[in-house]
Chain A
Amino acid sequence: MTTPLLQAKDLRISFYGVQAADGVNLEIREGEFLAIIGPNGSGKTTFLNLCTGYLRPSSGEVYLDGKPITAMAPRTIARRGIARAFQIPQLFLDQTVLDNLMIAVAAKRGIWVPFRALGADGRRREAEELLALVGLDGEAQQLAGALPEGRRKLLDIVIALALKPRLVLLDEPTSGVSTIERFTLMETLMAALRRAKVTALFVEHDMDVVQRYADRVVVWDSGSVMAEGPPSEVFKDERVLRNVVGVA
């Protein structure tokens, strides 16, 4: 068996007595689209925080390609190929949409190019291509802070993709997006991910989206994995239906 791209082993962390990760074991294999579902406050975002070095587990390890990354800073982990889009988009609100993306492109290529304009050396072109890919090209010159929530979400995702990651962690990519636009967004996103051959893990509350796009589903409950498998199986599970799908 090949080494999983990302592997979490027995991760634990608690906040003021709440076990937000209570022995999490999870593997993500190269090329898969893995969905995480689970009730509010079950520790999904905490898991992403643990995997990206934002939080340090009290015990357990995270491995990327079989090598531990547990104690590393988010910056270092990002450089190793894990990018993240946030539940609440993290943008440079008083810069333009294009600048936001050019900064990401520059971050990937190396920001140490003194006296070269941000848009020079093909950075602008690359950023514009990415914007066009997700249909944000019309808003390129707007301030990121002026975008509506759904568009911010999208920009946050492309910023993550600009890093050309091997693995992208998406925290509720479709929240804040209307039900009608959700599938358009997911189609665009999936196409972009497939084209760039990026492995993806996404936390999602919309079961229709999960059903349609996930290769595998992991069900979270109170800080640990309660069930996992292909969507067709997981959604037949009594406990899952009762605890998660019903609530979510």
Chain B
Amino acid sequence: MRAALFLIALAALALAPIAAPWLQFVLTLALAKGFAALGVAVLLRGGLISIGHAMFYAVSAYAIAFLARAGLNEFVVLLLLGTLASALAGLLIGAFLVRYRAIFFAMLNLAMSMVLYALLSKLYGITGGTDGLRLAVPRFFGLALDKASFDTALYYAGLVLMLGVGYGVQRYLASPLGHALAAVHTNELRLEYLGVPVRFVLLIAYTISAALAGVGGAIAAMAISHILPEFAFWTASGHLVLVAVLGGIGGVAGPFIGSLFLEVLHTLAVGVTDAWNLIIGVALIGVIFFLPSGLYGLIRRRSGEPA
């Protein structure tokens, strides 16, 4: 049942741009944010809430813009290096942040992202300040494509990545390290007494979550072709937390479901009403009260599996 739902959803995603071409850009951005929200969801497993994760989204996007300016213009290379840049930034910042818990952790992430936002806006000579940086259309596996074909290729590459990366994250969460991460949330003392280096467990999770945000940032950068400091703005981080909670952090699919749902809803709603924030707010309240394991929990329950 679940496998069937999964395949139907996947087929719908694959066919959507053909049926409704205007949806392609929306869906590409939804995928990008889905990756970053998955990063946030990974940390939520460990009971840690980051309200600064858009910084890693931005790190990857800017890294790609810099690399492109330096002459690299291959999609795969840019994607990998952008993600790597975010992972390294995550490793570095994580090494400092994993000492903190709860509100301190959340606030420090926020603070870091604000510092990055300020730097990106002010260092005009390097980052282009609030004008941002433009990104030319990269080659796709060596092929020189026009913007429209590249965007299509990017979308399908994003779908494939979602499957591959999603599977990898699922394996990670099901591994001893992933369970230890959840255990940090429930009983850090017991974990310590089992001889487990808690900070190391968290640092791995943090680095993975930053890398995931990096994958998202890379896709967004190449879809939008224009990189702005807003990528790192705190509202973007808040949006990622919202997506993660809305979609559900119980499974890897949750954040993607949340992201696709929100992005499509947003696109449809802005055409009809300007009460977008009201819709989002009500949807979130509904999920928190009635679907504690998110939209994904709803699907799981329907298919007769424990949420």
Interface of A toward B, CB cutoff 8 Å: 52, 73-76, 78-79, 83-84, 90-95, 99, 102-104, 106-108, 111-118, 123, 159, 163
Using known A-B contacts A113-B176, A118-B175, determine if residue A90 contacts B195 with beta carbons closer than 8 Å. no
**Contact A107 B175, beta carbon cutoff 8 Å:** no
**Contact B194 A104, beta carbon cutoff 8 Å:** yes
B190-214 contacts to A, CB under 8 A, are: 190-198, 201
**Contact A91 B190, beta carbon cutoff 8 Å:** yes
Interface residue? B159 (CB, 8 A): no
**Contact B195 A108, beta carbon cutoff 8 Å:** yes
> Please, which residues of chain A bring their CB within 8 A of the CB of B172?
114-115
How far does the alpha carbon of A79 sit from the alpha carbon of B187 in the complex, in Å? 18
> Please, which residues of chain A bring their CB within 8 A of the CB of B194?
78, 103-104, 107-108, 159, 163
How far does the alpha carbon of A129 sit from the alpha carbon of B172 in the complex, in Å? 25
**Contact B175 A92, beta carbon cutoff 8 Å:** no
Using known A-B contacts A52-B193, A74-B193, A75-B196, determine if residue A95 contacts B179 with beta carbons closer than 8 Å. yes
Interface residue? B118 (CB, 8 A): no
**A93 interface neighbour in B175, B179, B186, B191, Cβ under 8 Å:** B186
The number of chain B residues touching the other chain, given as a range, is 20 to 34
Interface of B toward A, CB cutoff 8 Å: 168, 171-172, 174-180, 182-183, 186-187, 189-198, 201
Between A and B, 11 residue pairs with Cβ closer than 8 Å are A73-B192, A74-B193, A75-B193, A75-B197, A78-B193, A95-B182, A95-B183, A103-B179, A104-B194, A115-B171, A163-B195
**Contact A112 B177, beta carbon cutoff 8 Å:** yes
> Please, which residues of chain B bring their CB within 8 A of the CB of A84?
193
**CB of A143 to closest CB in B, whole Å:** 11
Using known A-B contacts A114-B172, A114-B175, A117-B174, determine if residue A94 contacts B195 with beta carbons closer than 8 Å. no
> Please, which residues of chain A bring their CB within 8 A of the CB of B183?
92, 95, 103
> Please, which residues of chain B bring their CB within 8 A of the CB of A90?
187, 189-190, 193
Which A residue sits closest to B183, measured CB to CB? Answer: A92
Which B residue sits closest to A104, measured CB to CB? Answer: B194
How far does the alpha carbon of A93 sit from the alpha carbon of B179 in the complex, in Å? 13
> Please, which residues of chain A bring their CB within 8 A of the CB of B195?
75-76, 78-79, 107-108, 163
**Contact B193 A92, beta carbon cutoff 8 Å:** no
**Contact A92 B187, beta carbon cutoff 8 Å:** yes
Which B residue sits closest to A106, measured CB to CB? Answer: B176
Which A residue sits closest to B189, measured CB to CB? Answer: A90
> Please, which residues of chain A bring their CB within 8 A of the CB of B191?
103, 107
> Please, which residues of chain B bring their CB within 8 A of the CB of A91?
186-187, 190
Known contacts A103-B183, A115-B175; 8 further A-B pairs (Cβ under 8 A) = A92-B186, A103-B194, A106-B179, A106-B180, A115-B172, A118-B178, A123-B176, A163-B195
Which B residue sits closest to A52, measured CB to CB? Answer: B193
How far does the alpha carbon of A115 sit from the alpha carbon of B189 in the complex, in Å? 25
> Please, which residues of chain A bring their CB within 8 A of the CB of B197?
75
How far does the alpha carbon of A78 sit from the alpha carbon of B182 in the complex, in Å? 20
> Please, which residues of chain B bring their CB within 8 A of the CB of A123?
176
> Please, which residues of chain B bring their CB within 8 A of the CB of A79?
195
How far does the alpha carbon of A102 sit from the alpha carbon of B194 in the complex, in Å? 12
How far does the alpha carbon of A76 sit from the alpha carbon of B193 in the complex, in Å? 9
**CB of B196 to closest CB in A, whole Å:** 5
Using known A-B contacts A75-B196, A159-B194, determine if residue A117 contacts B175 with beta carbons closer than 8 Å. yes
Using known A-B contacts A112-B177, A113-B176, A118-B179, determine if residue A74 contacts B192 with beta carbons closer than 8 Å. yes
How far does the alpha carbon of A108 sit from the alpha carbon of B176 in the complex, in Å? 11
Interface-central residue, B178, B190, B194, B196, by most chain A CB under 10 Å: B194
**CB of B210 to closest CB in A, whole Å:** 17
How far does the alpha carbon of A76 sit from the alpha carbon of B192 in the complex, in Å? 9
Interface-central residue, B176, B189, B196, B201, by most chain A CB under 10 Å: B176
**Contact B176 A103, beta carbon cutoff 8 Å:** yes
> Please, which residues of chain B bring their CB within 8 A of the CB of A163?
194-195
How far does the alpha carbon of A56 sit from the alpha carbon of B182 in the complex, in Å? 28
Interface-central residue, A78, A118, A159, by most chain B CB under 10 Å: A118
